[in-house]
Structure 1
Amino acid sequence: MEDGPLFPARWWWALLDLAIATFVATLAFQHVPVSLTHTLIGFGMALSLLLRRRAPLVAMALVYGLGLLQLTLTRELAPYDVAVLFTIAAAVTYGSVRQAYAVGAAVAAGLVFTWFVDTSTGDPLVFGLIVALGAVVWSVSLVLRQRKDAAELYAERAAAAERERDQLVKLAAAAERAAIARELHDVVAHSLAVMIVQADGATFVVEKDTGRARTALQTIAEIGRDALGDMHRIVAVMRGDSEEDASPTRRTGLDQLGVLAERARSSGVAVSLRVDADGIDAAEELTVVRLVQEGLTNVLRHAGAGTAVEVDVRARDDEVELSITDDGAGTPGGREVGGGNGLVGMRERVLLHGGRFSAGPVGGGWRVHAVLARRVLSR
């Protein structure tokens, strides 16, 4: 735990105010042998100065009132009238802008009153010196006040910018977590769905048809290796490695659609695949692959083996259209994988590309339709 300063800033300001009040009181003390009125008024001004920081307008009103009383009774200025300058500085520096200009008006009125009452200011040179001194104190105090306001404004803006930056960091982290969760869901849910279907099939035929069982087990192993590779790629991206460094020989492109279709066919789903999407960029290819992957996963989970699915991917000049339609004629399995977040993830992927997404029953089956706003690549 770090120790604070030996003398806090407020102590130094209190000592400064006490020193100023002592200085004015000393000037007033010099009038003790001459005039008790001067002495009492001077001491009153000195005590009023102790309030100049906490209540600057009150301190100025007290000092100004005592000054007017002094001019009325003694008809002359005194050295301790310097207290008026200290209260002017405090009222302008710590008050509002409106109060600062009100103080300026009060100073001008006081100078006019002094000109008519004080016999010692009859010399224009002396009076001009007093006016100049009051104007300088007021002007310098106003500049200091404006600088203080500017410093507070900059500090407030800096604090607001820091809060905004922290909020943006949190939002970015949340978006990154959502993207990673979406990617993990697509990889794990599809792979597990196919592996479960293949494992169930192998269990049923292991004693009757060892060849089909062996093929199913080989498919499970292949899917597991691919899923593990995808997991390594995602983890590498999370650690900050580039995708090329993480997986130099594997790229998620449209060629993966054939692999996904073949895996679905091996699980008993009749997939008809039509792809006409040359020239789309890597991000669009990845989105299309993930949408098809999730769509086939949903067919395996909800419609089951025996379902016929049509997958159609077409690229136009300004968009990529994708549809996945099944006839719902399959036999759903008895177990499901996942928590029903697939459609939400698909919609989020499409919206990231500024596209449109819809999903719902059609005939006896289900249809997923997505349109991505295409970014045309330069040739």
Structure 2
Amino acid sequence: MGRAGLGWGIVARLILGRPLRGIAFDTAVCGLVVFFAVSAYVAGQIGVPAFAVGLAAAVAVFFRRTHPTAVAVAVAALALVQVIAGWGPLAYDIAVLIALYSVVKYADRLRDGIVAGVVAVLGGVLAALQTPGAGPWWMGAFFYALIVGAVWLAGLNLRTRRLYVLSLEDRAATLEREREAQARAAVAEERTRIARELHDVVAHSMAVMIVQADGVRFTLDRDPATAREAAKVVADTGRAALEEMRRLVGVLREPTATQPDPADGPAHRRPALVELPALLDRFRAAGLRVACGGAGAPPPLPPGLELTVYRVVQESLTNTLKHAGVGASVELTLDWSADAVVIRAVDDGRGRPVDGPAPSGGHGLVGMRERVGVYDGSLAAGPTLAGGWRVRARLPLSPAAGTGEGRAAA
């Protein structure tokens, strides 16, 4: 029963093209016109033809939202029939005012509402001429014109409000689409940058393998022990390069149209962990008060993972400088263990606006999330109770970290 009712509701919305609340309100408006027509017929004020005209007007106003101009034309034609028949003003003529209000509020062009207003005023003049009374006919015409003008202005006011709300909704939808597009562009650019850096890692590994393989060939007969060690380095480096290649393919799995950043240059340098003190000094020179600490010692890492740790620290401090401002205090910790490295950056948010450009990085949280995701890590970021910002990244370390390329490079 419930499923059948739900299905009927969906079908009704598809057929009528309107929400249930609007349909219910228009049904009530239609019922009001029918009530006036039935009351006049039961009281003997009108005959069957006039009653039929009233019912037709009631049916027409039911479609006043979806076809306002057509409804106004239909109601005007029925009112003309009433004038020609000489029935005079009747209670169900409220349909004329309903149609006028609807065409002013819902028509695509306000011109339709202006034409409907002029026709309604002329109809009021004709109704005044057919209404017997003690006063002159122009007084009745003026009274009808006042009613028509009030209804027309009410419709115009609500039309303006409706269009304003629609414009706000359209602007909000446009801004949302722009934000999504900017986020996608940022992700695409950061993936391109990560892929370029991982490509350098793989290329370096291949170069190491070639050098060691050449050494094996020349020392195989003269020094078998050295040749065996070199062959082992080739194998370890190849396994590490294969793992980095797998990550590189994962980054490039979704195609992007983003070009490399020309600022990096064709031979951009790949930073390492030994350069972290210099990085912190640059941020201190820019105005941050950086305190660095941690537990454990970093093991030899694959170059790609080492680069990710460096970039996460760089992006965390860049975000702090951009948003917390110059003079903010940052507590940076790197906790090393056998299975993971945890990076924490917590600032107090008590700086002042940056006077010049902050040190460039990637795309903030987007870039860090992409980089950490490449190595199956986790990233959490959010405000602190003290008003600052906190970033925590965890990168798992493989059991074989330090073998392969790290040792070959030594």
With the shorter chain as reference, the TM-score category is 0.5 to 0.7
1:34 partnered with 2:48: no
CA distance in 2, matches of 1:14, 1:207: 93
CA distance in 1, matches of 2:124, 2:62: 24
CA distance in 1, matches of 2:53, 2:224: 115
Q: Residue 231 of structure 1 corresponds to which residue in structure 2? A: 304
**Cα distance change of structure 1 residues 212 and 105 upon mapping to structure 2, 3 Å threshold:** same
TM-score normalized by structure 1?
A: 0.53
**Cα distance change of structure 1 residues 84 and 57 upon mapping to structure 2, 3 Å threshold:** same
Judge conservation of contact 1:31–1:38 (CA < 8 Å) in 2.
no
**Correspondence 1:196-345 to 2 at 5 A:** 196-208=210-222, 228-236=301-309, 240-242=312-314
**Cα distance change of structure 1 residues 202 and 123 upon mapping to structure 2, 3 Å threshold:** same
CA distance in 2, matches of 1:282, 1:190: 27
Picking from 179, 196, 200, the partner of 1:182 is 196
1:87 partnered with 2:99: yes
1:259-314 per-residue CA deviation (whole Å, 9 max, x = no partner) reads xxxxxxxxxxxxxxxxxxxxxx9989xxxxxxxxxxxxxxxxxxxxxxxxxxxxxx
Judge conservation of contact 1:49–1:87 (CA < 8 Å) in 2.
yes
**Correspondence 1:14-53 to 2 at 5 A:** 14-32=23-41, 33-36=44-47, 37-53=49-65
CA distance in 2, matches of 1:171, 1:219: 40
**Cα distance change of structure 1 residues 211 and 46 upon mapping to structure 2, 3 Å threshold:** closer
CA distance in 2, matches of 1:80, 1:229: 85
TM-score normalized by structure 2?
A: 0.50
**Correspondence 1:92-171 to 2 at 5 A:** 92-96=104-108, 97-120=110-133, 122=136, 126-171=140-185
Structure 2 unpaired stretches of 5+:
241-271, 273-299, 318-331, 336-357, 362-410
CA distance in 2, matches of 1:49, 1:91: 11
Q: Alpha-carbon deviation of 1:137?
A: 1.2
CA distance in 2, matches of 1:118, 1:231: 92
Q: Residue 346 of structure 2 corresponds to which residue in structure 1? A: none
Amino acid at match of 1:48: A
CA distance in 2, matches of 1:150, 1:185: 52
Judge conservation of contact 2:128–2:140 (CA < 8 Å) in 1.
no
Picking from 1, 13, 25, the partner of 2:22 is 13
Q: Alpha-carbon deviation of 1:126?
A: 4.6
Q: Alpha-carbon deviation of 1:212?
A: 8.1
CA distance in 2, matches of 1:79, 1:166: 55
CA distance in 2, matches of 1:122, 1:24: 29
Judge conservation of contact 1:25–1:46 (CA < 8 Å) in 2.
yes
- SS of the aligned residue for 1:30 comes to helix
Q: Alpha-carbon deviation of 1:166?
A: 1.9
CA distance in 2, matches of 1:198, 1:283: 37
Q: Alpha-carbon deviation of 1:39?
A: 3.0
Q: Percent identity?
A: 28
1:224-250 per-residue CA deviation (whole Å, 9 max, x = no partner) reads 9x8945322333367x443786999xx
Judge conservation of contact 2:213–2:234 (CA < 8 Å) in 1.
yes
Larger Rg: 1
Judge conservation of contact 1:180–1:234 (CA < 8 Å) in 2.
no
CA distance in 2, matches of 1:169, 1:106: 54
Q: How many residues align?
A: 250
Q: Residue 62 of structure 1 corresponds to which residue in structure 2? A: 74
